[in-house]
Amino acid sequence: MSARCIDGKQLAKDIREGVGADVKAFVAGTGVRPGLAVVLVGDDPASAVYVRNKKKACDAAGLFVVDHPLPAATPQAALLDVIQRLNADDAVHGILVQLPLPAHIDSQVILHAVSPDKDVDGFHPFNVGRLVEGAAGFVPCTPKGVIRMIESTGETIQGKQAVVVGRSNIVGKPAAMLLLHHHATVTLCHSRTRDLPAVCRGADILVAAIGKPQFITGDMVKDGAIVLDVGINRLDDGRLVGDVHFEQVRERAGWISPVPGGVGPMTIAMLLVNTLEGARRAVA
Ligand code: GUN
């Protein structure tokens, strides 16, 4: 069996275009242009690429971007000042603080300082709590994109065995929660999971968010499974690969998301969706 590809790039493009049309209508109806503040501290090259892509997508969809590049040595107190100003700025409906932050800054303090009403990443404990409750709040962009990708296959989530590998606050934990809300039976795995390959082989839906190149091999996947690859890893030979061994797993899976062109573009599309949602709430 050769898996069908979940084309995140195309799906994200369609969603971005839909957001663009919605933004146009929103501006016409309210006179308000949705605005996203992007805070990047330091010069991590991967973060710089992500932020550039996020800003480009915002521009194309008609969102207003407030750019806040800050030097790597920015003191925590100065970063907090920037966030307080953005919290108070009515033209800003979403605040994104790109992670990771430099080591001298306590990320938790910073993420807790972002107003929950502008927390388009869904990282503030208020929104984390709303997600656990199943109530309306901002949902983190990557797992939100993963769910849209599964839905795009036309397969149901309800009743399926879903295995999420990786327990990060950004992806693994919220992905598990969203799958649970969609009535999957969810197993959340991590580095200390016993016999991980056997657990993965039980998955109808497998979400790989480990951060290790080609970690999920063909023998770890059930025939016909839906496999979502959240990883982005650069190999020594320069190739960009996911956490899934694509060539092996495509022979087993029913559906598979590629890297690049899978989950990555969907994260950006969901950021646009969340920013427009922030603006809608602000004028409601
Ligand atoms: N770093 C890696 N992924 C993300 C994300 O989704 N949001 C932010 N703010 N930083 C990230």
Q: pLDDT band for position 104 (50/70/90)?
A: very high
pLDDT computed for residue 263 by the predictor: 98
Q: Is 99 in the pocket of ligand 1 (CB under 6 A)?
A: yes
Which of 117, 121, 204, 243 is labelled catalytic? 121
**Residues 172 and 228 occupy one common structural domain:** yes
Residue whose C-alpha is closest to residue 262's, from 57, 7, 13: 7
Q: Is 170 in the pocket of ligand 1 (CB under 6 A)?
A: yes
**Residues 104 and 186 occupy one common structural domain:** no
Render pLDDT for 31-52 as a digit per residue (tens, 0 to 9).
Answer: 999 999 999 999 999 999 999 9
Q: Is 97 in the pocket of ligand 1 (CB under 6 A)?
A: yes
Which residue's alpha carbon is at the smallest distance from atom 1 of ligand 1? Answer: 99
Verify whether residue 121 is a known catalytic residue.
Answer: yes
Render pLDDT for 229-247 as a digit per residue (tens, 0 to 9).
Answer: 999 999 999 999 999 999 9
Residue 272 lies in a domain: no
Render pLDDT for 106-149 as a digit per residue (tens, 0 to 9).
Answer: 999 999 999 999 999 999 999 999 999 999 999 999 999 999 99
Residue 130 lies in a domain: no
- Give the whole-number percent of the chain exceeding pLDDT 70: 100
Which residue's alpha carbon is at the smallest distance from atom 9 of ligand 1? Answer: 98
Q: If you average pLDDT over every residue of the chain, what do you get?
A: 98
**Residues 97 and 167 occupy one common structural domain:** no
The token pair that represents 265 in the structure block: 């573009």
- Give the whole-number percent of the chain exceeding pLDDT 90: 100
Residue to mutate (ligand 1; options 41, 44, 50, 267; most atoms within 8 A of CB): 50
Verify whether residue 54 is a known catalytic residue.
Answer: yes
CA separation for the pair 140, 172 (Å, rounded): 11
pLDDT computed for residue 22 by the predictor: 98
Residue 1 pLDDT more than 90? no
**Residues 164 and 250 occupy one common structural domain:** yes
CA of 69 from ligand 1 middle (Å) equals: 15
Residue 274 lies in a domain: no
CA separation for the pair 243, 165 (Å, rounded): 10
Residues in CB range of 230: below 8 A, 6 or more apart: 142, 146, 166, 171, 175, 207, 208, 209, 242, 243, 263
248, 216 contact by CB (below 8 A): no
Q: How many domains does the chain have?
A: 2
CA of 98 from ligand 1 middle (Å) equals: 5
pLDDT computed for residue 250 by the predictor: 98
Render pLDDT for 248-272 as a digit per residue (tens, 0 to 9).
Answer: 999 999 999 999 999 999 999 999 9
Atom of ligand 1 nearest to the CA of 99: 10
CA of 171 from ligand 1 middle (Å) equals: 9
Compute the average pLDDT of residues 187-195: 98
pLDDT computed for residue 280 by the predictor: 98
Residue to mutate (ligand 1; options 121, 138, 270; most atoms within 8 A of CB): 121
CATH of the domain at 228: 3.40.50.720
Residue 107 lies in a domain: yes
**Residues 42 and 156 occupy one common structural domain:** no
Which residue range forms the structural domain that includes residue 102?
31-115
Q: Is 267 in the pocket of ligand 1 (CB under 6 A)?
A: yes
